[in-house]
Structure 1
Amino acid sequence: MSVIVELTIPSEAFELGQILRVEGATQVTLETMVPLGGKPTPFVRISDGARRSFENSVREHESVRDITPVNTHDEETLYALEWEPPDGSLFDRLTDIGAALLDATGTADRWRIELRFPTHDALSTFQEYYIEEDIPVSVEKIYNPTKPDAGPWYGLTPVQRETLTHAVEAGYYSLPRTISTKELAAEFDISDQAATERLRRGISTLVTNTLLTLEDE
């Protein structure tokens, strides 16, 4: 089962943060990592006002071959970065264990990065790596993605969502229970059995589309 991790890391603590240095309130966004010629090519976006100093700074780094403007829109410039990740570096390790970069935004001091790992074992391998290398990573959030076809409410029908939400808010699942099945059913003008079945199906759908995501997803 895949797992998504949101983390923060000081800009100076990993190679892309060192390469893509910005100043002041300028923000740089890593749009994607595209494998071109067998190597991960970052596409980064930055405000156009910081363009000249940014380009000069990036080209000075020993791991960078070139940085090429792709397009400019609304005073922002998108670049393709040609670089060679150092052996054993953070992104080199992420590539080895099959992690996918979903989002990354950096400032002068800190980067926020969202990664998807193919398994929990891969995440554990990454955690062992940054602890051994003494990289100050702060994990903000870890969660499993839902099934892609589950929809905005995790596959629940409007009726199931309404019934489950009201049951929780009314204390149906509290200890002690503050509303009975009969009372809950009466509020929806349905039978006790229909209310129980609606809750059962709703919970089954919710768990299936969140906790029990398929192994190959």
Structure 2
Amino acid sequence: MAVIVELTIPADAFELGQILRVEEPTQVTVETMVPLGGKPTPFVRIHNGTRDTFERTVREHPSVHDIQLVNSHDDELLYALDWEPADDSVLQTILNLGGVLLNATGTADRWSLELRFPTHEALLAFQEYYIEQEIQVSIKHIYNPTRPDAGPWFGLTPPQRETLSYAVESGYYSLPREVSTQELAKRFDISDQAVTERLRRGIATLVQNTLLVNAEKD
């Protein structure tokens, strides 16, 4: 059965932390890891960063082929990173074990990762790797996902995941509500009805693939 682990790792021990070097209070988020040409291509979002300094620093790293600005919004910049992970790197080891990087957020000092492994044995193999490499990894949570066929994000599509995450982080579900449906629609360049439907379908998918799984087994 698949297993999900949430952990933190020093920025200088994680290759994306080495490549995407930032200074406080800049925060870096890996949005997705898309397999293009047989290698993982991250889409990277930075918050409160300095564009010229960031791009120059990233391009200087020997494993980086290119970094391209995809989109910008207020103080956020979204990049596509073309790079080649080393065979013995943390991320390549995760991928070799059949793992998936679900989420990654980093600062100048540490990165928080959410990883999905196909089996507990694969997770144990990863733990043996970072212990042998003397990497100071701190495990926060380990838990089983839900349906085996739910995919890396509990069955959510990338737009559903992005919209739901942004809605929660922006206070859409807070009392009182801190962001309106209209503001969400503007953020994702869709209609009010479309954003409402995307949230509704996303929540229904999450519930179906999490809360209702044990009930179905019973």
> What TM-score results when the alignment is normalised by the length of structure 2?
0.69
Cα deviation digits, residues 20-57 of structure 1 (max 9, x gap): 01101100001111111111111100136421111111
User: Aligned pairs, how many?
Assistant: 161
Partner secondary structure for residue 128 of structure 2: helix
Shift of 1:91: 0.8
Shift of 1:205: 2.2
**Structure 2 unmatched ranges of 5 or more:** 151-204
Counterpart residue type for residue 36 of structure 1:
L
Match of 1:47 in 2: 47
Partner Cα separation in structure 1 for residue 3 and residue 141 of structure 2: 10
Cα deviation digits, residues 61-112 of structure 1 (max 9, x gap): 1111111111112331110111110121111111111101110100011100
Shift of 1:155: 1.9
Partner secondary structure for residue 52 of structure 2: helix
Q: 2:207 aligns with which of 148, 151, 156?
A: 151
Match of 1:102 in 2: 102
Question: For structure 1, which segment, 46-55 or 25-34, has the greater mean C-alpha deviation from structure 2 after superposition?
Answer: 46-55
Q: 1:205 aligns with which of 187, 191, 215?
A: 215
Partner Cα separation in structure 1 for residue 48 and residue 27 of structure 2: 11
Structure 1 residue 34 corresponds to structure 2 residue 63:
no
Match of 1:21 in 2: 21
Change (3 A) 1:63 1:100: same
Counterpart residue type for residue 38 of structure 1:
G
Shift of 1:16: 1.0
Partner Cα separation in structure 2 for residue 116 and residue 68 of structure 1: 28
Q: Quick one: percent identity of the two aligned structures?
A: 63
Partner secondary structure for residue 151 of structure 1: helix
Match of 1:93 in 2: 93
Note if contact 2:26-2:48 (Cα within 8 Å) is conserved in structure 1: no
Partner Cα separation in structure 2 for residue 55 and residue 127 of structure 1: 33
Match of 1:70 in 2: 70
